[in-house]
A and B are shown apart, each in its own frame.
Chain A
Amino acid sequence: MLEGLKGEGLAMGMDRRTFLKLGGAVVIGSMITPGTQYLLASQEEKPGEKSKTRWGMVVDLNKCTGCKVCEKVCREENNVPFYGNKRYDAYWIRVANIRQQLPGAPERYIPLLCQHCADAPCVHVCVTKASFVRKDGIVLVDEHRCIGCRYCVVACPYRARSIIFRNSNTWTNKELQRMMIGVATKCTFCVHRVDKGVEPACVEKCPHNALIFGNINDPNSKIAKIIAEGKTQVLRPEKLVRPGVFYKGL
């Protein structure tokens, strides 16, 4: 239809009005088309018991020594900027210190990252559907669609999201683009590696093998067997968000 109109108009000599109309149609069309694409992409089936793959992680706290190698390799792999200012430094994975409030309780370390919830609150509240849950359970943010309203940051029960507060020169991994200013970012489970069949960078580089990555819906996988032992737990289970990251030995 558009093609025909265009050809005819050119052949007959377009008047100003037709030209403007056509221009408007093209502009609106180009605005809507990428949108519908994303719309269809985000209507994929939800990760659940029935889907074949759901990527997940087990963090074995008995093995974690708090060496923060995961923080470092994550920055290098994903170009996560570090400005040296506590107020707005971005973290995709952070190693927190926890100590039970009991006399004599030891200090322990716990890596915290996006929990890749199946019912992710950040995805529910996203204004432009920039956040979405992939069929395989990975929660992602489309940086090109995010408007930086920060609703997801407020809604996340785990504080897993970082806003890029400032222009970043960090570009250690040329395979990925640099972080875009003003948008929300978060751990992607190194989706670019997972899609190639490689484990996330933090899992691969952890010197103590405290992080275990795998398909939690495959009963024969290593991770599913660890979870089946019944010694793992999720964080803030009362929020009913069905996280994909499990902690062992908390």
Chain B
Amino acid sequence: MAKYYFAPIEGKTPKYYWTVGILGTLVLGWLVASYVRFIEGMYITGMSHSVTWAGAKVIFVLFVGLSAGSLIMSALSAIFGQKEYKVLGRVAAFNAVLFMAGALGILITDWGRPDRIVLPFYMVNPRSMLSLKAYIYMTYIAVCILYLWAQLKENETWTKALGIVAVIVAIFVHSGTGFIFGVINGRDMFFSSITPLAFVVAALSSGSALAMIVLYYTFKLTKRSIDMRFFHQLSRVMVGLIIFVFYLVTIEHLTHLYVPEAQEGEFYVMFSGGFFTWVFWGMLYGLGLLIPIFLLLNPATKTKIKWILTASALHVIGVLAERMLFILPGQFLAVPIFPGYEFTSPFQDGVIASYIPHMAEVIQFVGIFAFIAFIYIMGLRMLPLLPVEGKYIKDQDH
């Protein structure tokens, strides 16, 4: 097996500058929208007292998952020494840092008081999962950067050692994100011990899916060749993970359907939720789980790169749907303070809430995606992340 040589990309084409410019504008939009939101107050968002964790939290959870997933994929390849995966290692580790940065960016600009950013670091409340996260996330980012550095220095021993540490920390990080919701006793749709596991597995599957997409298009757009066996092998792993996600999601929803506490919420999601019912059946089960499983198991499509990439993209959308279904309808249903009573108040008690993101939030959401893409393409130009030449084995069916 040939050794790969890594180098930064040139990045001097007009296309590159245009991309940087457009993404930079969107990032600026994110900063401006966040500032306006902080000064004006949260009323310019679509949130209400019933739905206080909204779109930004969905994106936060998705990003933490993508970060943990791509880091674990990168580190496992380093640990088990698969040569084909070496091309992935650096880009995936870099992506892990970026997605975590993006997750923290959207989390902090979602706060009512982002100016108090230092407070969580010295006011740690050990009983609060989110409070412990201040240090867990910092540890995670530090480990990610060290791991990337070891790879850039081509230090095999350190890469392996830090890879193992990174996998453990990443699992911790994303289980912890699941715990943030799973420990909320007051909300029956959140309170569950399966959430951390479901989050980690969905993180792995969506992380590897996204790693494949990013890698393929990065290589294609920079006119590099890539070993197709890498995609074939990773897609085998991924289909197993998607089936596991399918299983976990199904048992969670079935549990909700069979216990009275969450039944009303589950009925809302499955049958009467309008948009969210479409998200549940169409986006999560159809596009996100069943079609990718079919595409990756069907002998006619499982070896073709375009179908592998389609399945990956659909699965990332499905995981986004899963996060959305978890966080939003979990707050929509009225808190049953008086079961067996009709219950109304000026504070919108007993009403099924709704949430539509407003302009400021949409700019924030687009901006945070642009932020990640922006740093990614800047990183490609500054750091030796991509191999100069990959050993190319032609895809037989391609």
Which residues of A does B touch, CB under 8 Å?
31-32, 35, 38-39, 71, 83, 85-91, 94-101, 110, 112, 121, 124-130, 145-151, 153-159, 162-167, 181-184, 235-236, 239
Please count the residue pairs between chain A and chain B whose beta carbons lie under 8 angstroms apart in the complex: 180
Q: What's the nearest-Cβ distance from chain A to residue B317, in Å?
A: 26
Partner of A99, one of B47, B49, B112, B341: B341
Residue in chain B with minimal CB distance to A240: B185
In contact, B41 and A155 (Cβ under 8 angstroms): no
A98-B343 contact given A129-B125, A145-B119, A150-B112, CB 8 Å threshold: yes
Q: Give 14 new A-B contacts, CB below 8 A, not counting A124-B127, A147-B119, A183-B112.
A: A97-B345, A99-B342, A110-B338, A112-B345, A121-B184, A129-B131, A145-B119, A148-B112, A150-B52, A153-B49, A163-B52, A166-B43, A167-B40, A182-B41
Map CB proximity to A onto B335-347 as digits: 1 under 8 Å, 0 otherwise.
1011011111111
5 closest A-B pairs by CB:
A148-B112, A182-B112, A96-B345, A157-B186, A128-B123
Chain B residues positioned under 8 Å from A181 (CB to CB): 41, 112
User: With the chains together, A101 CA to B343 CA distance in Å?
Assistant: 10
Q: Check B272 for interface membership: any CB of A closer than 8 A.
A: no
In contact, A96 and B343 (Cβ under 8 angstroms): yes
Map CB proximity to A onto B35-62 as digits: 1 under 8 Å, 0 otherwise.
0001011110001111011000000000
A101-B340 contact given A125-B128, A182-B111, A182-B112, CB 8 Å threshold: yes
In contact, B345 and A127 (Cβ under 8 angstroms): no
In contact, A182 and B42 (Cβ under 8 angstroms): yes
Partner of B347, one of A148, A159, A164: A159
A148-B113 contact given A101-B341, A159-B49, CB 8 Å threshold: yes
In contact, A145 and B41 (Cβ under 8 angstroms): no
In contact, B111 and A163 (Cβ under 8 angstroms): no
Map CB proximity to A onto B177-210 as digits: 1 under 8 Å, 0 otherwise.
0001001111100100000000000000000000
Q: What's the nearest-Cβ distance from chain A to residue B316, in Å?
A: 26
A145-B123 contact given A87-B49, A128-B131, CB 8 Å threshold: yes
Q: Check B331 for interface membership: any CB of A closer than 8 A.
A: yes
Partner of A98, one of B183, B342, B346, B348: B342
Chain A residues positioned under 8 Å from B40 (CB to CB): 166-167
In contact, B123 and A38 (Cβ under 8 angstroms): yes
Q: What's the nearest-Cβ distance from chain A to residue B41, in Å?
A: 4
Q: Check B153 for interface membership: any CB of A closer than 8 A.
A: no
Q: Check B122 for interface membership: any CB of A closer than 8 A.
A: yes
Q: How many B residues, CB 8 Å from partner?
A: 52
Chain B residues positioned under 8 Å from A155 (CB to CB): 184-187
A148-B123 contact given A88-B42, A96-B344, CB 8 Å threshold: no
Q: Check B120 for interface membership: any CB of A closer than 8 A.
A: yes
Chain A residues positioned under 8 Å from B341 (CB to CB): 98-101
Residue in chain A with minimal CB distance to B53: A154
Partner of B113, one of A100, A121, A146: A146
Chain A residues positioned under 8 Å from B49 (CB to CB): 87-90, 153, 159, 162-163
Q: What's the nearest-Cβ distance from chain A to residue B365, in Å?
A: 18
A selection of 11 A-B contacts at a CB cut-off of 8 Å is A31-B118, A38-B123, A71-B346, A88-B47, A99-B341, A125-B128, A128-B119, A147-B111, A151-B130, A157-B185, A183-B112
In contact, B128 and A147 (Cβ under 8 angstroms): no
User: With the chains together, A32 CA to B183 CA distance in Å?
Assistant: 29
User: With the chains together, A214 CA to B149 CA distance in Å?
Assistant: 62
Chain A residues positioned under 8 Å from B125 (CB to CB): 124-129
In contact, B123 and A94 (Cβ under 8 angstroms): no
Chain B residues positioned under 8 Å from A100 (CB to CB): 340-342
In contact, A96 and B349 (Cβ under 8 angstroms): yes
In contact, B120 and A121 (Cβ under 8 angstroms): no
Chain A residues positioned under 8 Å from B342 (CB to CB): 97-101
